[in-house]
Amino acid sequence: MHESLFQPIQLGAISAPNRVLMAPCTRTRAQDDYVPSEMMATYYAQRADAGLIISEATGISQEGLGTARAPGIWNAAQVEGWKPITEAVHKAGGRIVCQLWHMGRVVHPWFIGGQPPVSASATRLEEGMAHTPAGRFPYETARPLRIDEMARVVEDYALATRNARAAGFDGVQLHAANGYLIDQFLRSSTNHRDDDYGGPAENRVRLLREVLEGIVSAWDAAHVSVRLSPNGDSQGADDPDPATLFAHAAQVVQDAGAAFLELRQPGPDGTYGSTTVPQQDAVIRAIYKGPLVLNSDYTPAQADADVASGRCDAVSWGRLYLSNPDLATRIHKGAALTPNRGAPKSWYYPSPEGYIDYPTLEQEAAQASA
């Protein structure tokens, strides 16, 4: 079934056997020192039927990571922790790229020795509460990054890229979406700067451009992809003219020669975030000529139709891949999909339950015949 989804596709240097991708999903199963755990190898290997796995968001530096038990990729111990995971995915026949993450103002000072988080401008996330091992606290006002700090941030991304390569990943993805650091520079609601990194959209994409150039220099364009969220508010980051802004962002990605571009685009009935702001993939598709991957609330039939029509080249799924470790196989066979149980607690609770205990079709059949 859904034959358009099961045509091979070249994603830069990666030869993907199908167009059912696993989207990045934070699961907080790393250790307290941000080193990946053994359990994560099982989790990712179980999902190796995806055309490509995009890893959970992975911190490029302590400054940029404000989620307990999320993995990092900035030191040698973390690199060593990732190696068994990439090896397990490859042994299972899969491919995996590392999503590079700096959370910007969403980092609570608890994680960075009491110092304020950094962002484009002195803004704070007003919605929700920061979860720390010491409890839940309001977010705090960020410190604007100085111009003389930009090169350091770029180097943090470049080092993380070199580390991801050393850890055995098949590539990296720049997380430039969802209201995190790069997105905070892109959007006018969070970028109030009056220097070369602020003001008009062509300035606000400057950090995106510099970081992408740094990442590409650390590996090459064929191993680098980007994620954007071009419609609607993302953790308080918003813009009144997304078409203009993300046309500029798409041009940056095109100029970098990125292997593929993934867009998270919720709609008005989104089940994990919703917006009435129009989706921007048509604007972006006219500028970025590489493979385009769409994400958010897709059914297999809708995904197959959008790939068949040329609207996109592949579709990524997040939550469905949590509870269906063999999602691509199930879609191809037209089998029933398993709903998440106990969500969202089971998404983040540090145990095997709700993480590596969802059965595959083959395991279900074996259990039924036992």
For 81, counting Cβ atoms within 10 Å of its Cβ (0-12 exposed, 13-18 middle, 19+ buried), the class is buried
DSSP 8-state symbol, 24: P
Does 180 qualify as catalytic in the annotation?
yes
Render pLDDT for 46-70 as a digit per residue (tens, 0 to 9).
Answer: 999 999 999 999 999 999 999 999 9
Long-range contacts of 245-248 (CB under 8 A, 24+ apart): 245/186, 245/187, 245/188, 245/201, 245/204, 245/205, 246/280, 246/283, 246/284, 247/201, 247/283, 247/284, 247/287, 248/201, 248/202, 248/204, 248/205
Could you list the residue range(s) of the whole structural domain that residue 352 is in? 3-369
Low-confidence ranges of the chain (pLDDT < 50): none
Relative orientation angle of helices 206-218 and 150-166, to the nearest 10 degrees: 40
**DSSP bridge partners of 292:** 261
What pLDDT is stored for residue 278 in this prediction?
84
* Rounded distance between C-alpha atoms, residue 305 and residue 3, angstroms: 10
CATH number at residue 79: 3.20.20.70
**Distance, CA of 334 to CA of 131 (rounded, Å):** 39
Q: Which of 180, 321, 348, 355 is catalytic?
A: 180
pLDDT of residue 227: 98
Q: What is the pLDDT of residue 197?
A: 98
pLDDT, tens only, 333-362: 999 999 887 788 889 988 999 999 999 999
Q: In angstroms, rounded to a whole number, what is the distance separating the alpha carbons of residues 205 and 199?
A: 10
Q: Please report, for residues 159, 161, 166, 211, 215, the alpha-carbon distance to residue 218 in angstroms, rounded to integers and kept in the order given.
A: 8, 6, 12, 11, 5
pLDDT on residue 276: 83
Total domains in the fold of the chain: 1
Residues 6+ away with beta carbon under 8 Å from 184: 104, 105, 119, 120, 121, 123, 190, 191, 237
The pLDDT, as a whole number, for residue 344 is 83
Considering the chain, what percentage of its residues have pLDDT values greater than 70?
Answer: 100
Phi, psi for residue 368 in degrees, rounded to 5: -70, -30
Q: Is 285 helix (H, G, I), strand (E, B) or coil?
A: helix
